[in-house]
Structure 1
Amino acid sequence: MSIMPHMIDDYQQKKVEFRKILLGILSERNRWSQCVEWTNKKLGMAVGALFIRENFNHESKKTALEMIQTIREAFNELLSENGWMDDETRNVAKGKANSMNERIGYPEFLKNPVELSKEYAMLNITENQFLKNIFAVLKYDAYHNLQKLRKPVDKNKWSTEPAVVNAFYNPNNNDIVFPAGILQPLFYSQHFPKSLNYGGIGVVIGHEITHGFDDKGRQFDKDGNMIQWWNNATIKAFRERAQCIVDQYSRYKLQEFDFPINGRMTQGENIADNGGLKQSFRAYKKWVSFHGEEPLLPSVNLTHDQLFFLNYAQIWCGSMRREDALTKIRSSVHSPGPVRVLGPLSNSEDFARAYNCPPGSPMNPTRKCNVW
């Protein structure tokens, strides 16, 4: 499967047929587009060095760090307020949140050409030898993986290329990663009001922090070791709250399908979405209490609280082919975009207040699910 995209047309045709059934894609993308994607995947740090030089505002890194701090504080406050955790587990949870290592933008060595060259010392690329280069990259990847065998984990090592629009939590390192590619609209802009930034990248930050305490992340301690640091009563209380989320999401359907999404398979991401939204809104309101209300946007008849939730919804605005939607429902750990909007917002008291949703209405149900 990894070599197939780079082979002759007979193989490409089989791949097109496979992708048509699985994803509804009728033809391959333009060759230039594929080449850009392959280069970023296989030589991600080299591409990242070019990306941050040309496209990354370095002030964003400082702003993101400040936002992480305020959202982590909001998580700790919510931790103190929850009534279902025992004090000992709560204190250890705070320690884990405070120990999270944040990686923002890119690793510093990308700004040093000599250090960057060392990264690729074992790799030989030959002009006009495409398939040979593919094998050279695969050998290079295998060599670097084998070098890590039986050695202590390097917790300072970046494994994510900077030019991607994504964010990550790694339970083995207890780190949260926000590559340079996600620090741009709609998630973030220096020119946006804070309401939009907190509703965008702020919720993503809270989402990744919450992953450290979802159904999988909670099984790892602050050093990334898989051990039970919760007592049994607290685990039981957590599972009851998580089950509420599982049941809620198992009732959602996409319009074109007559069967629901899998609430159990998607619970970790759903827990993180709900927690991230709540933490980021609290952090935003705290920012407002220090700095004062932001001026309203001209000709936009919305408060900043409403704009916060509107930008959160915009992040998940998109379209999917029917086949792709079906594949995602059957196999993805993420709920489809519309559900990622409806689920967390209908659990949010803050959203109901901002948009004056009547009690008992679809977006302000009487029974709400709440884990973090």
Structure 2
Amino acid sequence: MWSRGVILKITINSTCLAKRKCVFLACLRKLAASLMAAMDLAADPCTDFFQFACGTWNKKHVIPEDKPSISTFEVLAEQLQVILKDVLEEPLDENDSEATTKAKTFYKSCMDIHQMSKLGDVRLREVLATMGGWPVTMKDWKPPVDSVEVILGKARRDYNEGVLVEMWVGPDDKNSSVNIIQIDQMALTLPSRDYYLKANSQGDMEAYHRLMTRIALLLGADSDTARDELQKVIDFEKKLANVSVAEADRHDTSAIYEQMTLEQLQKAIPHLDWGTYLRSIIDVPITDSEPVVIYAMSYLRGMGEILAETDTRVVHNYVMWRLVYAIIPHMIDEYNRASVDFRRILQGILSERHRWSMCVEWTNKKFGMAVSALFIRDNFNHESKEVALNMIHTIRAAFNELLADNQWMDDETRAVAKEKADAMNERIGYPDLLKQPDELNKEYVKLNITKDDFIMNVLHVLRHEAYRNHQLLRQPVNKDKWSTEPAIVNAFYNPNRNDIVIPAGILQPLFYSQHFPKSLNYGGIGVVIGHEITHGFDDKGRQFDKDGNMMQWWNNATVKAFRERAQCIIDQYNKFKIKEIGMNINGKMTQGENIADNGGLKQSFRAYRKWVKQHGPEPDLPGLNLTHDQLFFLNYAQIWCGSMRPEDALNKVRSSVHAPGPVRVLGPLSNSLDFAKAYSCPLGSPMNPINKCNVW
């Protein structure tokens, strides 16, 4: 269930590199010019390295009207989207498997605006009818025969929507070879609980209320009563937000994990009939002795009490609203305009994205393996898989060296930590099934896609996703199965499997190229790899052993020493202020990613210096008066060039486990002795403070 990822990017013009149509030296000159074009050479690198590395890039790149932010990563992601658009728009031919045919058909149905206009909101109204109707839109609504537990189960089974509770089947954290039912607190409609509870979010809540009312009116609600009725729904969700636990307080998985039988859950939270709920979702027999894992007992108690005292009409209004809210992003015309108007307030955007961009994104998320099969055919350098594997080995060796050097671990824990690092599985590029049409087809064999009904296709996909998850119960865990689409600019560490995933989408220029100096490759994909390795030993990852099982394999003294170092990171990052909104970031919520950023940078630089020692110094980049050690850190910093709208900055501070880009530059570099040496920053300067934080 849980994965941690890093999103990185490098700001260079790689057209000639990717096509291999230019002379090597000319490419290097262009590369050097691109690096320089982003920099503010008037800035002091020892005062503000983010401004030094990205000042000109940020000045030249205005945030597009349809985006909440702009960054070098987003530019790279858009380039990938264009490639995916091209392959999805190719005509069907004899080379298409059933899987790629379904992906192309889904995309084309998404782009068929004419057909969608003809159908209007028919499918949405049908969904509501199957669930007993949306009370606010009906004059004579009566509670359906089905209990609220059955309604909630239908929402999960038929539309993959977790309302009031989140439920899924996945590997047991304490026995990663066994799939088990897992229950957690619900994901709220808005990005975080702060939007419901903070006084400075009043404007966002009013916009949320307007959206809900506007959609209800489109579906037939009474304009005289809808607003007041839906305010009760918002008040209900505010109560749920109030009893939910902030994400920053949920990082200690072992502290929130509770396994019990269904019978024990029923006694602990009697306000919901849990057996009826689960049996309405999962087809296999479920008895009172069925084991379940709970991650949010305090929330479930509070939710149960709120549910018991809330009018049935309000509860059903909320459940139906959550279904509607999940579907309307895919719709057009008035529904789309309502969504855009809401996002203007919540994200600060001024216009909607291009339809093709949204359709590519949805198709890649829903048909990730099929889309990636089309992508790797002509757009992936297969040699890079071997390069990435070699870099993983060299950076893991660097981690093990740092492990041997640290003084805060006892010898026994250090030895087990090395075993875990050495046991990490590497998943690079894409799974083999992408080149095995028969196996690829099995991924979508039960999924029906039609060419002329996009919303119906969306509904079929949602039901298929739910089915694929729920049928895992009683099945052994397949630890070799990929859990993410390969055509994505991202990377992951999975603690239940102790594996690193480096997808094909990130193994491209700009992260890696055989034409790049090693300093840039290690500052790019190398830091990604180091980041993911470190996730195995951050605040969450350290709780899992080499086999992906949650257990206490550190002694108490080492745990105490780790927490002291992690607290240093928390306190340090708490002091970083985001200029767009004048608010400090949440060091506790972002600690895992910050630990990984710091560790990944240190490991990759050490691996690069070992490469130089073995192979000799690299030739200078022409036209750029920087050493390769300096280029390593410059490249890392330019990964994070970008700016945000104030609304997006607020969203990130409240809900993201990643620190904003500038902080991901200033934090790790100010902790790095290697950086201070490379740029000759005097001790006590902003980028070389006397007091530094160090975990790995």
Judge same fold: TM > 0.5, yes or no. yes
Which amino acid in the other structure matches residue 106 of structure 1? Y
CA displacement at 1:194 relative to structure 2: 0.6
The one-letter amino acid of 2:681's match is C
Of 260, 272, 281, the residue aligned with 2:596 is 272
Moved more, 282-291 or 110-119: 110-119
1:202-213 correspondence to structure 2 within 5 Å: 202-213=526-537
Residue 5 (1) aligns with residue 329 (2):
yes
Q: Does 1:201 align with 2:535?
A: no
Match of 2:607 among 283, 288, 303: 283
- Counterpart of 1:103 in structure 2: which amino acid? R
TM-score normalized with structure 2 length: 0.53
2:500 pairs with 1:176: yes
Is 1:162–1:181's contact at 8 Å kept on the other side of the alignment?
yes
Structure possessing the higher relative contact order (Cα contacts under 8 Å, 6 or more residues apart): 2
- Distance apart, 1:93 and its partner CA: 0.6
Aligned 8 A contact 1:109 1:115 in 2: yes
Partner of 1:298: 622
Tell me, yes or no, if the aligned pair for 1:173 and 1:223 is still in contact at 8 Å: yes
> Which letter does structure 2 place at the counterpart of 1:82?
N
Partner of 2:435: 111
Which residue of structure 1 lines up, in the alignment, with residue 350 of structure 2? Answer: 26
- Equivalence map 1:139-178=2 (5 Å): 139-178=463-502
Shift of 1:192: 0.7
The letter of the residue matching 2:583 is F
Deviations 1:97-139 (A, max 9, x none): 1111111110011012222122221111111121111111112
Counterpart of 1:146, as a letter, is H
CA distance in 2, matches of 1:147, 1:316: 40
**Quick check: which has more Rg, 1 or 2?**
2
Q: CA deviation at 1:257?
A: 2.6
Q: In 1, distance between residues paired with 2:355 and 2:657?
A: 30
Task: Give the CA deviation at 1:147.
Answer: 1.8
Matched to 1:370, the amino acid is: N
How far off its partner does 1:258 sit?
2.3
Q: 1:262 aligns with which of 559, 563, 586?
A: 586
- After superposition, the C-alpha distances for 1:205-244 in whole angstroms (9 at most, x for unaligned) are 0000000100111111111111111111000000000111
Provide the rounded CA distance (Å) in 1 between the counterparts of 2:362 and 2:514: 30
Task: Say whether residues 1:189 and 2:531 are aligned partners.
Answer: no
1:135 aligns with 2:448: no
Contact 1:60 1:183 in 2 (8 A): yes
How many residues are paired up? Answer: 372
Is the 8 Å Cα contact of residues 186 and 315 (structure 1) preserved in structure 2?
Answer: no
Shift of 1:141: 1.1
1:316 aligns with 640
CA distance in 1, matches of 2:449, 2:694: 52
Provide the rounded CA distance (Å) in 2 between the counterparts of 1:150 and 1:94: 33
Counterpart residue number, 1:368: 692
After TM superposition, the structure 1 = structure 2 runs for residues 240-255 of structure 1, keeping only pairs within 5 Å, are 240-255=564-579
Q: Deviations over 1:14-44 (max 9, x none)?
A: 3223322221112211111111111101111
Cα 1:265/1:50, change in 2 over 3 Å: same
**Secondary structure, counterpart of 1:364 in structure 2:** coil
Given that 2:598 and 2:668 are in contact with CA atoms closer than 8 Å, whether structure 1 keeps it comes out as yes
Describe the superposition over 1:230-283 as per-residue Cα deviations: whole angstroms up to 9, x where unpaired.
111000000000111011111111223322111111100000000000000000
For 2:409 and 2:597, the matched residues in 1 are separated by 20
| Ranges in structure 1 where 5+ consecutive residues have no aligned partner | none
Distance in 1 of aligned mates of 2:330 and 2:629: 49
Residue 41 (structure 1) aligns with:
365
* Identity %, equivalent residues: 77
Q: Counterparts of 2:588 and 2:458 in 1: how far apart (Å)?
A: 38
Q: Which has the higher strand share?
A: 2
Alignment of 1:349-368 (within 5 A): 349-368=673-692
Judge conservation of contact 1:86–1:234 (CA < 8 Å) in 2.
Answer: yes
* Distance in 2 of aligned mates of 1:25 and 1:85: 48
Q: Residues of 2 paired with 1:143 and 1:239: CA distance?
A: 40
Aligned-residue RMSD, C-alpha: 1.1
